[in-house]
Amino acid sequence: MLFEQFKVAGLGCFSYLIGCPAAGTACVVDPERHIERYLHAAQQNGVRITHIFDTHLHADHITGSVELAASTGANIYVHPGVEAEYPHKELHDGDRFRFGAAELEVLETFGHTPNSVSFAVTDHSRAEDVFALLTGDLLFIGDIGRPDLAGEDLLEEQVKNLYDSLYHKLARFPDWVEVYPSHGEGSLCGRGMSPKPVSTLGFERRHNPLLNNMPYEEFHAIMTGEFQVRPNNFAVMVGKNRRGPAKLAEAAPFNLLTVQQVQDALARGAKIVDTRVPSAFGAAYIHGSVNIGLTPSSVNWLGMVIPAGTDIIIVADAPAKAEEAAYIYRRAGYDRLIGYLGDGISSWAAQAKPLNHLPQLTPESLKEVCAKYPKHLVLDVRSLGEWNGGHIENALHIPIEKIITGDFDLDKEQHITVVCGSGYRANIAGSILKSRGYQKVFSLIGGMTAWKASQRA
């Protein structure tokens, strides 16, 4: 039997190639948009991909199902609740699919979405027992799927379905069955996933409190509580995945742009995403740019700040970095990446074009500033939970999602230092403030991590 797990760093997406080299057939479960890895693995193992399964209608990434089907001729299978508008076949509870020694049984496990399924996997070359569950976004390692993404009007039903799926649908499977989810650390589909790629039902039943005989009333209270903010482009990706995503070949060409071409694009409404590190961005950047950076989680922040239908120009340290950013961003449906600024910020400066800056303060510098100027505003943009865990004295708390949406009211003449956990979100918030006319804005290097370390020194 062939069983291979793939991971997309940052988004935390897991996908699977399952089949049988002896039979020469295989399936892919929850493929990501860049399908080369599945084609290569199938070729290396001498199998043909004949089936493609999506465990649910994904909100956090563009599915690779349509792309993979076009390349392989395989059929796509989804639950009818997805209401897919592209050619597909339906998955129903109890359906079984055989790939030589490998067999997958469909389980309707609603709760994360109203159309979620899981797969019970058997390796008949070894035993007739189910050895693994592909749990989709029902059960993660150390966490479970959030039920709120389908909308507030479905939340009560989703919480009930989630509890039923976890405690009743999975009850027939013994503790030794392995658990392989569709998401891991880095995903926004849960709250506190483990970085481990696999677990067992027994371990999760014992150490995952949400699966450890929790009464429904307590479960309900937790699952209707606060979740991390959903990026604005989640709804866009749901729509694209339901309709059938455009092929990557149809995405806008990603070209090297001159300074004049960038200026022309900005005049037409394009936005600049600056992927450089905070210190480089703070020293000099093009006005209106947003400093997303190029980290494994940067695509999630891009989804919170820039609408998916926007023409985007990338500023990076090198062309290879710009290409890397474009590759990552297309996973989240950003197909209007029109190019990158040739030679980066230096080409802009070489033509004496105006540059902005976002000064970076050390904890020691911030202490001196606050002592000298008592009215200097320390703006903490972390979540409420982080804020309640400790913050700088006299700081003002405005979560970053409110900065992004403009749901705040500050004096534009105020001197402001933006603070987050590590400095990453502070530069995003600071660059947004600057683009809205707040000129006297600073960012705390290293965020609260550095601040707390300076307090101990």
Instruction: State how many domains the chain has.
Output: 3
Same domain for 426 and 283?
no
Question: Is residue 245 a part of any domain in this protein?
Answer: no
Q: Determine the Cα–Cα distance for residues 31 and 25; give it in Å rounded to an integer.
A: 17
Same domain? For 276 and 218 the reply is no
The 10s digit of each residue's pLDDT in 309-320 is: 899 999 999 999
- pLDDT bin (cut points 50, 70, 90) of residue 218 is very high
Q: What is the pLDDT of residues 21-52, one digit of tens each?
A: 999 999 999 999 999 999 999 999 999 999 99
Place of tokens 């001729």: 73
pLDDT of residue 190: 60
| 86 located within any domain | yes
**169: which 2 tokens?**
């649908």
Tell me the CATH number at 207.
3.60.15.10
24 and 165, same domain (yes or no): yes
d(CA 225, CA 155): 11
In this structure, what CATH number is given to the domain that contains residue 439?
A: 3.40.250.10
Residues 6+ apart with CB under 8 A from 314: 272, 273, 274, 275, 322, 325, 326, 337, 339, 340, 341
Compute φ and ψ for 277, nearest 5 degrees.
Answer: -65, 155
Are the C-beta atoms of residues 60 and 36 closer than 8 Å to each other? no
If asked whether residues 29 and 133 sit together in one domain, one would say yes
What is the pLDDT confidence band of residue 188, given thresholds at 50, 70 and 90? low
- Judged against a pLDDT cut of 70, whether residue 307 lies above it is answered with yes
Same domain assignment for residues 8 and 80: yes
Last residue of a domain, one of 350, 373, 388: 350
**Alpha-carbon distance 138 to 117, whole Å?**
8
Q: What is the mean pLDDT of residues 13-17?
A: 96
- CA–chain centroid gap for 367, Å, is 35
Q: Is the domain of 189 the same as that of 83?
A: yes
Let me know if residue 239 belongs to a domain.
no
Is 441 part of any domain?
A: yes
Kindly state whether residue 345 falls inside one of the protein's structural domains: yes
Q: Give the domain extent around 366.
A: 360-456
In a domain, 422, yes or no: yes
360-361 and 377-380 as β-strands: parallel, antiparallel, unpaired?
unpaired
Residues 370 and 439 in one domain: yes
Query: Does residue 235 sit within a domain?
Result: no
Do residues 270 and 329 share a domain?
A: yes
Residue 138 has pLDDT above 80, yes or no: yes
What average pLDDT does range 199-216 have in this prediction? 95
Residues 285 and 369 in one domain: no
**End-to-end Cα, the chain, rounded Å:** 56
Residues 190 and 338 in one domain: no
Q: How confident is the model at residue 259 (pLDDT cuts 50, 70, 90)?
A: very high
Same domain, 42 and 189: yes
What was the pLDDT predicted at 298? 86
Phi and psi (nearest 5°) for 18?
Answer: -130, 130
The two tokens of residue 268 are 């037409």
Question: Is residue 1 within 8 Å of 102, Cβ to Cβ?
Answer: yes
- 242: tokens are 């339901």
Residues 283 and 333 in one domain: yes
